[in-house]
Amino acid sequence: MKIAIDAMGGDHAPNEVIKGAIDALCEWKDIHIILVGPIERVKPLVPDYLLDKVTIQPADGVIGMDEEPVQAIRRKKDSSMVVAVNLVKKGEADAVISAGNTGAYMASGLLHVGRIEGIERPALAPVFPTMDNRGTLVLDVGANMDAKPSHLQQYAVMGTIYAREVLGIKNPRVGLLNVGTEEKKGNSLVKEAFGLISNTSNLHFIGNVEARDIPYGICDILVCDGFTGNVVLKLTEGVSSAIFATLKEEFMKTPWSKLAALILRPGLRRFKQQMDYKEHGGAPLLGLKGVVIKAHGSSDGRAFKNAIRQARQFVIHDVVGQITKHVKGVSES
């Protein structure tokens, strides 16, 4: 199994990217990593004992985080991101991972890999941390800002397949994000989507879910339009950062609070790990004809290793093939 990695994407590239790749290669013997980036920067970071499990694909350009997505991928065809995505398009890699510019990466996936026949819009699907440690797969969080009811129905189908095959959830519960739990609540988009999802076979649909219940793991899959999902994602990240910053500030105020922090350190460490995105690796762009995983921009080696684990499971369980089959079945019903 060959996994292409944009070695120059992300805040800590290429060091942390390659560190994650090395850890993954040491754990899973059935993968071969293709590191895409400048040879002079990538090769010195790869240990000699792993050179037979690593291919370095030259690419000199880098797409910056602040560049306009579509213009960037058209202007920088030699960038590490575009070259890595094209390896999947050409069939030279089974999956691709990048922590680079999210908009450019999604645009490159759409333009070069393409959508599965029958999928109207792809969905970016990260796992939100929850108090029960299971996590909730949320889709979409920004791949498609203006959704239709049929898009949300397809998100529910794709999310169910991914949660079952990659996340290991046998009968994943699907919830529809709304302002209330009653069936008749919400705008026209969610009301119509409710009916479509309710009548879709092979889904464990539990109905509407309010945002305040997400952290408690009320569902395994949360379906929403990309605009709303992105707002929830950014708010969640902001609140999480604010909580940890406030706790640190309070614990450092007095000698007694410092002592309390010392006593509580093991529990606080477990809590931080529970809320850490690095445990889940990255967010798949579901609905494409290839395996495209978006890692967080500030991913470290552990996050990249987990993103590789995701990609590996994605390929092993043929999630793309299963989505293709199930979406065809939904469209014919």
3-state secondary structure the chain: CEEEEECCCCCCCCHHHHHHHHHHHHHCCCCEEEEEECHHHHHHHCCHHHHHHEEEEECCECCCCCCCHHHHHHHCCCEHHHHHHHHHHCCCCCEEEECCCHHHHHHHHHHHHCECCCCCCCEECCEECCCCCCCEEEECCCCCCCCCHHHHHHHHHHHHHHHHHCCCCCCCEEEEECCCCCCCCCCHHHHHHHHHHHCCCCCEEEEEECHHHHHHCCCCEEECCHHHHHHHHHHHHHHHHHHHHHHHHHHCCCHHHHHHHHHHHHHHHHHHHHCCHHHCCEEEEECECCEEEEECCCCCHHHHHHHHHHHHHHHHCCHHHHHHHHHHHHHHC
CATH number of the domain to which 158 belongs: 3.40.718.10
Is residue 333 in a domain? no
261 and 310, same domain (yes or no): no
Residue 140 backbone class (left: φ over 0; alpha: ψ -120 to 50; beta: rest): beta
Residue 287 backbone class (left: φ over 0; alpha: ψ -120 to 50; beta: rest): left
156 and 301, same domain (yes or no): no
Structural domain harbouring 238: 120-280
97 and 189, same domain (yes or no): no
236 and 174, same domain (yes or no): yes
134 and 274, same domain (yes or no): yes
142 and 271, same domain (yes or no): yes
CA pair distance 127, 295, nearest whole angstrom: 12
The pLDDT of residue 331: 52
Is residue 272 in a domain? yes
Is residue 247 in a domain? yes
19 and 147, same domain (yes or no): no
Q: Calculate the alpha carbon distances from 205 to 47, 154, 197, 269 in Å.
A: 48, 13, 7, 34
112 and 124, same domain (yes or no): no
Per-residue confidence in pLDDT tens, the chain, 333 aa: 999 999 999 999 899 999 999 999 999 999 999 999 999 999 999 999 988 999 999 998 999 888 898 888 999 999 999 999 999 999 999 999 999 998 899 999 999 999 999 899 999 999 888 888 788 999 989 888 889 999 999 999 999 999 998 888 999 999 999 999 998 889 999 999 999 999 998 899 999 999 999 989 999 999 999 999 999 988 888 888 888 888 888 888 888 888 888 888 887 777 666 666 556 668 899 999 999 999 988 889 999 999 999 999 999 999 899 898 887 655 555
Task: Please name which of 66, 9, 69 lies closest in space to residue 38, comparing C-alpha atoms.
Answer: 9
153 and 110, same domain (yes or no): no
Q: How many domains does the chain have?
A: 2
CA pair distance 159, 176, nearest whole angstrom: 12
